[in-house]
Every structure is written in structure tokens, then in C-alpha cells.
Amino acid sequence: MKGFIMSDNSQNTQANKESFQHIGIIGAGAIGQAMAKQAVRAGLKVTLSNSRGPESLAAVIDQLGPNAHAGSVRDAAAADIVVLSVNWAQLPSALAGLPSWDGRIVIDATNPVIQPGYQLAELGGRNSGEVVTDMLPGARLVKSFNTLLAAVLASDPKQAGGKRVVFLSGDDAVAKSTVEQLIERLGFASIDLGSLAVGGKLQQFPGGPLPAVNLIKVSN
């Protein structure tokens, strides 16, 4: 993985108060567990879910500590912010039967990879974030946390005198602002790539230029 250092002289001018304390995670693989670890470390409540049911997550929850709980996919989908980290082929079944999203924020951390063979899924000329948006009617989707390798995402975001960068893109400015607050709460720095149509292509894995790029933002 390549590493880069960026300089940032800007100050955080976000005035909105955090509107989240509970993070739901659909998908308990390496990325889902990394997100849970960072959220628990930041003092947030986490509901972790998978297709096999809460009982299958007992060992993971024990490691995460008292702020983490295993729940159903429906439980996780009811959180203040929902992280989607399911294997691409399993997305339709993972999201089937869930109630209306009612404007809740969903962070799309998925990548359109088909196994075996590690091939890009057929997306009909769109990027994966646009496809996932259609699967989540009523949700406010922000593409983020999909470009870092799981081991890097799980590690300390404070590096080399700065903070590890997480990219995000989306079409709802308020939702992106809230996700930026979450990124900061977790100890990372954020770079807004713009709309889902533009940023989603940059974040695309495989195919985009940003996956596995490890940036550190430092303040002078």
C-alpha cells in the first residue's frame, strides 16, 4: 500500500451538533468489524449484524466490549447511522424485507466485487454507489470507508503526526456533513469527493484510482 502525506491548514467550521450515538452495521466481515472497533473506541454504541444471526457474533462482541451488541439486520438498520458492509452478491438478500429507511443515513462501504475471480460486477454503466442507492429507497446514502484495506481501517487513525484520510461522496449535503462528523469522531480526516456520480467513480473498487491509497492529513 502506498502512503502519502498531505498538508491541511484549514480549521473545522462544522457548527452542527452530532446527531448520532448509535451505529448499526450490516455485515460483520473484516470491514464491518473494523468499523465496529473504531466506533466502540470512540465511545459510540454499536449494533453489529450478519446473515447468520446474533448468536454467531458472540466472540466478536466479547472482544469489542460493552458498547457493542449483536442484533438482527433489522436492529442494525434502525440505528442513527447504518454502515453497509455486505459482500456484493449478498446485498439483495441482506436488504430484503427491511422497513422504510425514512431518511436515515446509510454509509455504503461495499465494493462491487464478484467471487471467485475478483471480477467487477455488472453495474449497467453506473458506479456501485448509484446502484446501491436504488436498493435503499428513502435512505440518504453516502459512499465512504470502502477504499482502505480492513487491517488499515482497524488500526489507529492517528499516524505520522496527522490523521488517516477517509474519502466520501454523496448527493445529500446534510448527510455528508453528518458522516464527516462521524469520521472526525472516529479520529480520521475526511476528503469530500463531491457527488456520487463523480466521487463514486473515484472510490470504485476495482477500477477507481483511490482504493488502497493511504493518505495522512497533517496540520501545520
What is the pLDDT at residue 19? 84
The residue that leads in pLDDT, 74 or 5, is: 74
Q: Taking 80 as the threshold, does the pLDDT of residue 119 lie above it?
A: yes
Q: Please, what is the Cα angle at 49 between 53 and 80, to 5 degrees?
A: 145
Mean pLDDT of 79-107: 96
What are the tens digits of pLDDT across the range 187-208?
999 999 999 999 999 999 888 9
Q: Please, what is the Cα angle at 74 between 28 and 106, to 5 degrees?
A: 70
Mean pLDDT of 93-113: 95
Least confident span in 9-18, 45-54, 112-121: 9-18
Mean pLDDT of 43-55: 97
Confidence at 219, pLDDT banded by 50, 70, 90: confident
Domains, in order of start, for the chain: 3-11+20-219 (3.40.50.720)
- Ramachandran bin of 77, using left for φ above 0, alpha for ψ from -120 to 50, beta for the remaining angles: alpha
Confidence at 2, pLDDT banded by 50, 70, 90: very low
Q: Taking 80 as the threshold, does the pLDDT of residue 58 lie above it?
A: yes
Confidence at 59, pLDDT banded by 50, 70, 90: very high
Q: Taking 70 as the threshold, does the pLDDT of residue 5 lie above it?
A: no
Mean pLDDT score of the chain, rounded to an integer?
A: 91
pTM here is 0.91
Confidence at 181, pLDDT banded by 50, 70, 90: very high
